[in-house]
C-alpha cells in the first residue's frame, strides 16, 4: 500500500532542509494603531510589535470611513452575497464598486473577482483562449498568478527579458502580423520595486497590433492623481487595453479586478469559470472597498505622506550602510542572499527588537536573492524609522550580514520563470 502520509511529510521536510519552510506569524492588528499589532508566539505569549512588511500600503484597512462602510453595510444588507454572480449574488454595493473601478481607470467597464490571483488567472486565460491562434508575450518576472493564467490558456507564449523592450520587439517581429497578440506585464514589480517602461511597451503594441494587459496591483491607490496607478501617473491609461488591480493592498480590503472596454469585460464575465462558479464578494466588503477607492480619488494626503516616509526610510537605511536595493517605488528591499540568514535576521528582529519583517525566499524570489522586504506606510512615524534603522544595524552586526549594495541586474541568459509575490 502507498504511504500517503509519508509522501506529504517528505514533501514538507524537503522545504525544511532548504531552510524555506514557512511559519506564519500569528498577528492581531489593532484598528487605529496600525502599524502596531499584537504578536502571539508558539506558546501563546503576546506582545506588541511594529509591522514593517504589510501590503496595506497606505493603512486604508483601518481608515474610519472604510470601517464604517463595512459595519453599516453589514447591518443593512447582512454578511454574505448568498450566491454566485448569476445565482442571486450580484448585490448593489458590488454593482457600485464595479462602476467606481471603471471610472478610476477611465474604462467602459470593470469586473470584480475574489482575489488578484484569480483575476489574473481568469482574465489572462479567458482573453487568450477566446482569440484564435493567440500568442502571449509575458515579462520574465511576471507574478505567479499571471504565469498560471498563461499556462491555463494553453496558448503559445514567449517570455521577454525583464523590462527589455528591445527583446520584446525582437519577439514581436518574429510573429505573423495577423495573429492575435497579448502583451502581459506589471507596472510595479513587487519584490524589487522597479517599474515597467509602459510607454515603450504601448508603442510596440501599437506598432505590432497587440493587446496590452498590465498588472497594477502594487500601484493602484498609490500613484496617479486619483490613485489609478503608474499608468495614470504617466498619462497612459487609455493606451492599455486591460488594467488589472487589487482591492487588498493600497485599498486595504480584499478582492481583485480588471477594467477594460465593454466587449472584453463582458467576454471574461461570460466565459471565465473562475468567475462564473464563485460566490460574489460580500456587500460589506464591496462597500468598504468602494469607500477606500473613492476616498483616494480625491485625497492626495496619504500618497504624499507615503512617499515621504518611503524616501526617509531608504535614505536612513542607506546612510547606515545597509544594502538597500535600488527601487523606484515604495518597496524597500534589503538584500541578504541566503535562505538561512534571512530567516535568522527576521527571527532576531522579532524576538529582540519587536519588529516584524517576513523573510522573502524562493519561490517568491530567485534563490540566492533572499531578502527582507520593507514597506513603509504613511503611518510609520519618523521615530519608528529611526528604531528600524537601529534594529537593522544591530542585526546586521550580530549575524555578520553582507553590506555591499547588491547587483540586481539579471544576466541575459537568466530566463527563468520565477513566481513572485507571496
Which 291-350 residues touch a second copy, going by CB under 8 A? none
Q: Which DSSP category does 188 fall into?
A: B
Q: How far is the CB of 215 from a second copy (least distance, A)?
A: 12
Residue 47 CB neighbours (<10 A): 10
Nearer to a second copy, 222 or 233 (CB): 222
Nearer to a second copy, 193 or 421 (CB): 421
Based on the shown chain and the rule CB under 8 A, indicate whether residue 254 belongs to the binding site for a second copy: yes
Based on the shown chain and the rule CB under 8 A, indicate whether residue 246 belongs to the binding site for a second copy: yes
Could you tell me whether strands 332-335 and 181-186 are parallel, antiparallel, or unpaired per DSSP bridges? unpaired
Out of 249, 290, 295, 306, the residue judged to bind a second copy by CB under 8 A: 249
Q: Which residues, numbered 104-123, are part of the site for a second copy (CB under 8 A)?
A: 114-118, 121
Nearer to a second copy, 151 or 340 (CB): 151
Q: How far is the CB of 321 from a second copy (least distance, A)?
A: 26
Nearer to a second copy, 1 or 412 (CB): 1
User: How distant, in Å, are the alpha carbons of 119, 137, 200, 360 from that of 419?
Assistant: 16, 16, 24, 12
Q: How far is the C-alpha of 345 from the C-alpha of 266, rounded, in Å? A: 48
Strand, coil or helix: 405: coil
Q: Which residues, numbered 186-215, are part of the site for a second copy (CB under 8 A)?
A: 209, 211
Q: How far is the CB of 25 from a second copy (least distance, A)?
A: 6
Residue 307 CB neighbours (<10 A): 16
Out of 158, 175, 180, 406, the residue judged to bind a second copy by CB under 8 A: 180
Based on the shown chain and the rule CB under 8 A, indicate whether residue 174 belongs to the binding site for a second copy: no
Based on the shown chain and the rule CB under 8 A, indicate whether residue 263 belongs to the binding site for a second copy: yes
Based on the shown chain and the rule CB under 8 A, indicate whether residue 36 belongs to the binding site for a second copy: no
Handedness of CA 113, 109, 299, 382 (dihedral sign): positive
**What does 20-68 look like in DSSP terms, one character per residue?**
------EEEE-TTTTTEEEEE-TT--EEEEEE-S-S-TT-GGG-HHHHH
Q: How far is the CB of 283 from a second copy (least distance, A)?
A: 7
Nearer to a second copy, 139 or 233 (CB): 139
Q: How far is the CB of 156 from a second copy (least distance, A)?
A: 15
Based on the shown chain and the rule CB under 8 A, indicate whether residue 24 belongs to the binding site for a second copy: yes
- How many positions of this chain bind a second copy (CB under 8 A)? 113
Cell of 255: 478582492
Out of 36, 84, 299, 305, the residue judged to bind a second copy by CB under 8 A: 84
Based on the shown chain and the rule CB under 8 A, indicate whether residue 416 belongs to the binding site for a second copy: no
Q: Which residues, numbered 40-69, are part of the site for a second copy (CB under 8 A)?
A: 40, 51, 53-56, 60-63, 66-67
Residue 336 CB neighbours (<10 A): 26
Nearer to a second copy, 155 or 254 (CB): 254
Based on the shown chain and the rule CB under 8 A, indicate whether residue 366 belongs to the binding site for a second copy: no
Based on the shown chain and the rule CB under 8 A, indicate whether residue 149 belongs to the binding site for a second copy: no
Q: How far is the CB of 351 from a second copy (least distance, A)?
A: 17
Q: Degrees (nearest 5) of the Cα angle 245, 57, 421?
A: 60
Based on the shown chain and the rule CB under 8 A, indicate whether residue 88 belongs to the binding site for a second copy: yes
Strand, coil or helix: 331: coil
- Computed on alpha carbons and rounded to an integer, the radius of gyration of the chain in Å comes to 22
Q: Please identify, among the stretches 223-231, 279-287, 318-326, 331-339, the one whose residues bind a second copy according to the rule CB under 8 A.
A: 279-287
Residue 400 CB neighbours (<10 A): 8
Q: Which residues, numbered 373-402, are part of the site for a second copy (CB under 8 A)?
A: 373
Out of 99, 170, 261, 328, the residue judged to bind a second copy by CB under 8 A: 261
Residue 258 belongs to what H/E stretch? strand 256-260
CA atoms within 13 A on the CB side of 148: 14
Strand, coil or helix: 192: coil
Nearer to a second copy, 233 or 372 (CB): 372
> Quick check: is 107 catalytic?
no
Q: How far is the C-alpha of 67 from the C-alpha of 60, rounded, in Å? A: 9
CB 222 within 8 Å of CB 231: no
Q: How far is the C-alpha of 407 from the C-alpha of 131, rounded, in Å? A: 40
**What does 336-382 look like in DSSP terms, one character per residue?**
---HHHHHHHHHHHHHHH-EE--EE-TTTS-TT--EEEE---TTS-H
Based on the shown chain and the rule CB under 8 A, indicate whether residue 422 belongs to the binding site for a second copy: yes
Out of 34, 185, 189, 396, the residue judged to bind a second copy by CB under 8 A: 34
Task: Pick the catalytic residue from 107, 249, 314, 343.
Answer: 249
Based on the shown chain and the rule CB under 8 A, indicate whether residue 239 belongs to the binding site for a second copy: no
Residues acting as catalytic residues: 249
Amino acid at each position: 500500500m502507498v504511504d500517503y502520509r509519508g509522501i506529504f511529510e517528505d514533501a514538507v521536510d524537503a522545504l525544511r532542509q532548504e531552510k524555506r519552510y514557512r511559519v506564519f506569524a500569528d498577528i492581531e492588528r489593532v484598528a487605529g494603531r496600525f502599524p502596531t499589532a499584537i504578536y502571539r508566539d508558539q506558546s501563546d505569549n503576546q506582545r506588541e510589535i511594529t509591522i514593517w512588511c504589510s501590503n496595506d500600503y497606505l493603512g486604508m484597512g483601518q481608515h474610519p470611513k472604510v470601517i464604517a462602510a463595512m459595519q453599516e453595510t453589514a447591518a443593512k444588507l447582512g454578511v454574505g452575497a448568498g450566491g454566485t454572480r448569476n445565482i442571486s449574488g450580484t448585490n448593489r454595493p458590488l454593482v457600485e464598486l464595479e462602476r467606481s473601478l471603471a471610472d478610476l481607470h477611465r474604462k467602459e467597464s470593470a469586473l470584480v473577482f475574489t482575489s488578484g490571483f484569480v483575476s489574473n488567472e481568469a482574465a489572462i486565460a479567458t482573453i487568450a483562449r477566446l482569440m484564435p491562434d493567440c500568442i502571449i508575450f509575458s515579462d520574465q518576472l511576471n507574478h505567479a498568478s499571471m504565469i498560471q493564467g498563461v499556462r491555463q490558456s494553453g496558448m503559445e507564449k514567449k517570455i521577454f527579458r525583464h523590462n527589455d523592450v528591445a527583446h520584446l520587439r525582437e519577439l514581436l517581429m518574429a510573429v505573423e502580423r495577423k495573429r492575435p497578440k497579448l502583451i502581459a506585464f506589471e507596472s510595479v514589480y513587487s519584490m524589487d520595486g522597479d517599474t515597467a517602461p509602459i510607454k515603450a511597451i504601448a508603442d510596440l503594441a501599437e506598432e505590432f497590433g497587440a493587446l496590452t494587459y498590465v498588472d497594477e496591483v502594487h500601484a493602484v491607490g498609490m500613484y496617479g492623481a486619483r490613485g489609478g496607478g503608474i499608468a495614470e501617473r504617466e498619462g497612459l491609461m487609455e493606451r492599455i487595453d486591460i488594467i488589472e488591480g487589487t482591492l487588498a493592498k493600497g485599498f486595504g480590503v480584499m478582492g481583485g479586478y480588471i477594467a477594460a472596454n465593454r466587449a472584453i469585460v463582458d467576454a471574461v464575465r461570460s466565459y471565465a469559470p473562475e468567475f462564473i462558479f464563485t460566490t460574489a464578494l460580500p456587500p460589506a466588503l464591496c462597500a468598504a472597498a468602494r469607500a477606500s477607492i473613492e476616498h483616494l480619488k480625491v485625497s492626495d494626503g496619504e500618497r504624499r505622506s507615503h512617499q515621504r516616509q518611503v524616501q526617509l526610510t531608504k535614505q536612513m537605511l542607506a546612510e547606515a550602510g545597509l544594502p538597500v536595493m535600488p527601487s523606484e517605488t515604495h518597496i524597500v528591499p534589503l538584500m541578504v542572499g541566503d535562505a538561512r540568514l534571512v530567516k535568522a535576521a527576521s527571527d532576531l528582529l522579532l524576538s529582540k527588537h519587536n519588529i516584524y519583517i517576513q523573510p522573502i525566499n524562493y519561490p517568491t524570489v530567485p534563490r540566492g536573492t533572499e531578502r527582507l522586504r520593507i514597506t513603509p506606510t504613511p503611518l510609520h512615524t519618523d521615530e519608528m524609522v529611526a528604531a528600524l534603522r537601529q534594529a537593522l544595524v544591530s542585526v546586521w552586526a550580530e549575524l555578520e550580514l553582507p553590506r555591499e549594495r547588491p547587483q540586481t541586474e539579471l544576466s541575459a541568459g537568466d530566463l527563468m520563470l520565477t513566481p513572485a509575490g507571496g
